[in-house]
């Protein structure tokens, strides 16, 4: 079984959103075109409470896009984004949602961020995605969506570590920081991941 994991294709990560990924909207057509080629399609959704600790607004001395700290872990401080139930948190309207069999939410605990679709950044809690995929007999997956250098990469890296064969679809992802994304691509290949 080969799965497609669609990561965080949500309004806030698209142009006009509060944490817009440059050209993030370009992934949608690529994903729609490919999703019928997989045995199973699942999506993740960044799903923060309004006071989430990854928001710069939750830190009196925190500056946007700088590293702060959250519960003992280094934490990039983001603009408010993907607040549960908001328009920004909704999946993009243009994304074809019919093939999506299940949606996994992450980032609900205000005290820890969650870039990966599998665990929070402190690796304390699972989202259920691993057990779901293994229960469905999935051994291979392709990962796509937003943002390449954060949630797509962390999801793909954890999937490798959990024993899946993993590829990232380059045409179907976009990065917040393209220099960082280049470095990450090398690291991902070295750990046994594929870029297609
Ligand atoms: C993401 C930053 C903060 C992502 C989520 O989906 O890549 N990035 N929250
Ligand atoms: Zn987030």
Identify which has the larger pLDDT, 133 or 60. 133
What value does the mean pLDDT take over residues 136-158? 98
What value does the mean pLDDT take over residues 172-196? 97
What CATH number is associated with residue 145?
A: 3.40.50.850
Atom of ligand 1 nearest to the CA of 148: 7
What value does the mean pLDDT take over residues 140-147? 98
pLDDT tens-place string over residues 80-103: 999 999 999 999 999 999 999 999
pLDDT band at 38 (very low <50, low <70, confident <90, very high): very high
Domain for residue 127, yes or no?
Answer: yes
Atom of ligand 1 nearest to the CA of 7: 6
What value does the mean pLDDT take over residues 21-47? 98
Q: How far is the CA of 12 from the centre of ligand 1 (A)?
A: 10
Ligand 1 pocket, residue 148 CB under 6 Å: no
Above 90 in pLDDT, residue 62? no
Domain for residue 57, yes or no?
Answer: no
State the residue range of the domain holding 106. Answer: 2-48+84-195
- pTM higher than 0.85 for the full model? yes
Q: Residue 103: its pLDDT value, please?
A: 98
- Which one of the ligands is nearest to 174 CA? 1
pLDDT band at 40 (very low <50, low <70, confident <90, very high): very high
Atom of ligand 1 nearest to the CA of 154: 7
Domain for residue 63, yes or no?
Answer: no
Whether residue 168 contacts residue 194, with contact meaning beta carbons closer than 8 Å, is answered with yes
Domain for residue 101, yes or no?
Answer: yes
Domain for residue 53, yes or no?
Answer: no
Domain for residue 65, yes or no?
Answer: no
pLDDT band at 184 (very low <50, low <70, confident <90, very high): very high
What value does the mean pLDDT take over residues 12-31? 98
The number of folded domains in the chain is 1
The residue whose CB lies within 8 Å of the most ligand 1 atoms, and thus the one to mutate among 5, 12, 13, is 13
Let me know if 82 is a catalytic residue.
no
Let me know if 120 is a catalytic residue.
no
pLDDT band at 61 (very low <50, low <70, confident <90, very high): confident
Q: How far is the CA of 150 from the centre of ligand 1 (A)?
A: 6
Domain for residue 66, yes or no?
Answer: no
Let me know if 151 is a catalytic residue.
yes
pLDDT tens-place string over residues 117-142: 999 999 999 999 999 999 999 999 99
Ligand 1 pocket, residue 146 CB under 6 Å: yes
Ligand 1 pocket, residue 14 CB under 6 Å: no
Domain for residue 172, yes or no?
Answer: yes
Above 90 in pLDDT, residue 9? yes
pLDDT band at 17 (very low <50, low <70, confident <90, very high): very high
């Amino acid at each position: 079984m080969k799965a497609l994991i669609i990561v965080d294709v949500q309004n806030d990560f698209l142009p006009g959103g509060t944490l817009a990924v440059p050209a993030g909207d370009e992934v949608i057509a690529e994903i729609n075109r490919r999703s019928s080629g997989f045995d199973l399609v699942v999506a993740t959704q960044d799903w923060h409470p309004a006071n989430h600790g990854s928001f710069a607004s939750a830190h009196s001395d925190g500056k946007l896009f700088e590293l702060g700290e959250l519960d003992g872990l280094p934490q990039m401080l983001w603009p408010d984004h993907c607040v549960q139930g908001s328009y920004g948190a909704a999946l993009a309207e243009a994304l074809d949602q019919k093939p999506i069999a299940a949606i996994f939410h992450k980032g609900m605990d205000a005290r820890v961020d969650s870039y990966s679709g599998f665990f929070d950044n402190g690796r304390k809690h699972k989202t259920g995605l691993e057990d779901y995929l293994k229960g469905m007999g999935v051994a291979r997956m392709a990962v796509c969506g937003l943002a390449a250098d954060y949630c797509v990469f962390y999801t793909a890296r954890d999937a490798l570590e959990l024993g899946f064969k993993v590829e990232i679809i380059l045409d179907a992802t976009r990065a917040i920081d393209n220099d960082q994304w280049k470095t990450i691509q090398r690291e991902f290949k070295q750990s046994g991941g594929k870029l297609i």
